[in-house]
Chain A
Amino acid sequence: MNNIIETHNLSRRFGHTEAVDNLTLEVPEGSIYAFLGPNGAGKTTTIKMLLNILAPTGGSASILGVDSRRIGPGELAFIGYVSENQKMPDWMTVGQLIDYCRPMYPSWDPVFCSKLRAQFDLPLDRKLKELSRGMKVKAALLVSLAYRPKLLVLDEPFTGLDPLVRDEFIRGMLELSDEGNWSVFISSHDIDEVERLADWVGIINGGQLKLSESSAALQARFRRMECVVSEARKLPPALPKSWLVPEIAGHSVRVVESQFAESGSEVEMRRVLPDADQITVSPMSLRDIFLALARTFRLTNPTQL
């Protein structure tokens, strides 16, 4: 499978701060990749470098197979981009915005555009500056979807949107799912929005990539394991490295096993805790996995995650 996005040691320094620090990741074509991390982790800086809005101070990135430094109108005609702080020509009406964007994209689909506009309930004659935040985001998404891009890049699209608009946004975005090999790169500090949508997950913190893996692989290797020990005590100091956030309360022990193996993990638990009884193993949601990782990585501001 080809990668729609690839970065190699991508870095960006602002003064003495490494906003993005040697980031190496791959986004397979046809996937919905959730790029997660707290505010200030380097998500927006990464996205700006991918789209050639910002130059890297080190490393490289390619998008649709083209070096990010060479990306111009030719490539941007296949990429949709909606960001939290999108600059929009506020003096235009929705209709004028559509007319303004349309000639830039050879693949613009006017029928699809009208359908989306009706779905989003956007009035043609209303000026952008008169629109609510939610309506504005929908207008930005509309003119990013109407040319059926091969790649949709969304930077914190849900911030400040009410649940109804979030739902409309996701439905709109999924209108493209009939296209073969259509990909999405979506940054968020909130995993809830993308839990079942993302088939790839990346976690960035302090400019560094902490993890990049398929959701299926993550869910296969993580399990919550619980057991009861006959004697209440502190946990032994040397625990398996794959155990995240081990806790004991009274006689109950709870750990997150990050390298689960069908029989091996229980054997391991009995080895470390010889009096372990009633061992239970349960699968975890992406959200629970994410929280366990957040606590392990000590992400700044983990409460937002």
Chain B
Amino acid sequence: MLPFQLQFKTGIPAYEQVVYAVKKAIISGALKPGDRFPSVRSLSQELRINPNTAHKVVAALVNDNLLEVRPGIGSIVSDAHPSTREQRRELLGGEIERLVVEAKKLQLEIADVIEAIRQHWDLLS
């Protein structure tokens, strides 16, 4: 089992979707500093993705200082990055862009969109 959740969507490169899912898990606290991160092999097996893609995912997360490589152990979630409100908000970036694109296509005003969000927000509160 992987320590983060992911349902692939069509059209978006697998690499981006995995990186996003891992960042989300780290920022939301599902993956905590010091937690072991799956190897390239198990990422590839569990997600059925190309091992080269899995390798790229790990390299990108290491590069972003979200993972640290511990020789002999593998990679672990680094503790360099406590999650801030700003980071949590960044996670919504892609979703918001899609919402705005759809809203503009339907020729809605920003006020209509905010009102629609407010209604859904209240439903879940």
Instruction: With A178-B40, A278-B105, A285-B10 as known contacts, state yes or no: A196 contacts B52, CB within 8 Å.
Output: no
A171 touches B45 (CB 8 A): yes
Question: How many residues does chain B have at the interface if contact means C-beta atoms less than 8 Å apart?
Answer: 20
Alpha-carbon gap, A198 to B44, bound state (A): 12
B48 touches A288 (CB 8 A): no
Residue among A198, A285, A287 facing the most chain B CB atoms (10 A cut-off): A285
Alpha-carbon gap, A174 to B38, bound state (A): 14
Query: A31-B52, A170-B48, A177-B51 provided; 17 other pairs, C-beta below 8 A?
Result: A32-B50, A32-B51, A174-B41, A174-B45, A174-B51, A177-B54, A178-B41, A196-B8, A196-B47, A196-B50, A197-B48, A198-B50, A199-B50, A278-B105, A283-B10, A284-B10, A285-B11
> Quick one: closest A residue to B101, CB to CB?
A280
Neighbouring A residues of B105 by C-beta, 8 Å: 278, 280
Neighbouring A residues of B10 by C-beta, 8 Å: 283-285, 287-288
Instruction: With A196-B49, A199-B53, A280-B105 as known contacts, state yes or no: A177 contacts B11, CB within 8 Å.
Output: no
Is A96's CB within 8 Å of the partner chain B? no
User: Which listed residue (B12, B13, B14, B41) contacts A177, Cβ 8 A?
Assistant: B41
Alpha-carbon gap, A216 to B52, bound state (A): 12
Neighbouring A residues of B11 by C-beta, 8 Å: 282-285
B40 touches A197 (CB 8 A): no
A174 touches B44 (CB 8 A): yes
In chain B, positions 33-79 with a C-beta closer than 8 Å to chain A are 39-41, 44-45, 47-54
Neighbouring A residues of B52 by C-beta, 8 Å: 30-31, 199
Q: Give the interface residue-count category, chain A.
A: 20 to 34
Neighbouring B residues of A175 by C-beta, 8 Å: 41, 45
Is A9's CB within 8 Å of the partner chain B? no
Alpha-carbon gap, A282 to B12, bound state (A): 10
Alpha-carbon gap, A219 to B14, bound state (A): 11
B7: shortest Cβ distance to chain A, in Å? Answer: 13
B51 touches A196 (CB 8 A): no
A219 touches B50 (CB 8 A): no
Neighbouring B residues of A170 by C-beta, 8 Å: 45, 48
6 A-B pairs with least C-beta separation: A177-B51, A283-B11, A285-B10, A174-B45, A171-B45, A196-B49
Per-position binary interface string of chain A over residues 278-305, scored 1 when its CB falls under 8 Å from any chain B CB and 0 otherwise:
1010111101100000000000000000
Residue among B10, B14, B50, B54 facing the most chain A CB atoms (10 A cut-off): B50
User: Which listed residue (A177, A280, A282, A284) contacts B40, Cβ 8 A?
Assistant: A177
Per-position binary interface string of chain B over residues 4-45, scored 1 when its CB falls under 8 Å from any chain A CB and 0 otherwise:
000010111110000000000000000000000001110011
B28: shortest Cβ distance to chain A, in Å? Answer: 24
Q: List 25 A-B contacts (CB under 8 A).
A: A32-B50, A32-B51, A170-B45, A171-B45, A174-B44, A174-B45, A175-B41, A177-B40, A177-B45, A177-B51, A177-B54, A178-B39, A196-B14, A196-B47, A196-B49, A196-B50, A196-B53, A197-B48, A197-B49, A197-B50, A199-B53, A216-B13, A283-B10, A285-B10, A288-B10
